[in-house]
Amino acid sequence: MTRKNRIRAAIVTATALVTAGTVTAGVSMAGAESAPKKPSEKEIAALFDGWNKSLRTGDPKKVADRYAKDAVLLPTVSNKVRTDRAGIVDYFHHFLENKPRGKKIQTIVNVLDGNSAIDTGVYQFTLTDPKTGDKRVVKARYTYEYEKRDGVWKIVNHHSSAMPEG
């Protein structure tokens, strides 16, 4: 290879590297601009407050509105897995008869990206017996998996189970 050809090859190689670097940087910047902003752990943890507030309405449909259409609910006081809106409404129709008041005890939030997060931990509910008015407190473990759909955070998976040791 002559000196002239080596110089030409070096220029072609350098041009290709600069072009590849420019395209890579452009793609990276475009991805950064279009990726949704990651929510804070505090923002995700606060989604429970909205859900808990919907319980206080006493309206199972308002509670079900917080769930995605394809959500899965593994409820605390039912052995039946709920996989559609009708099932979720049915569960909350019965659960709300006890006028539940929820309170988080321990929260661990994992923000996966700008459109998905998991909130898991321990909460407790104060339940009121509709016949006697007696109150009892039930502690449970929970996991909420959230996805942002059409700009709104929805529960896509919710698992709640009573603490095994009471």
pLDDT tens sequence across 69-112: 999 999 998 999 999 999 999 999 999 999 999 999 999 999 99
Beta strand pairing call for 152-162 and 67-74: parallel
Question: What's the CA gap between 5 and 140, in Å, rounded?
Answer: 74
Among the four given CATH numbers 3.40.50.150, 3.10.450.50, 3.40.50.1820, 3.40.718.10, the one describing domain 41-162: 3.10.450.50
pLDDT tens sequence across 100-154: 999 999 999 999 999 999 999 999 999 999 999 999 999 999 999 999 999 999 9
Report pTM: 0.78
Residue 99's alpha-carbon distances to 19, 42, 51, 52, 93, in angstroms, are 64, 26, 14, 11, 11
The amino acid present at 48, given as its one-letter code, is F
- 30 has pLDDT over 60: no
Task: List phi, psi (to 5°) of 164.
Answer: -65, -25
Burial class (CB within 10 angstroms; exposed 0-12, middle 13-18, buried 19+) of 71: buried
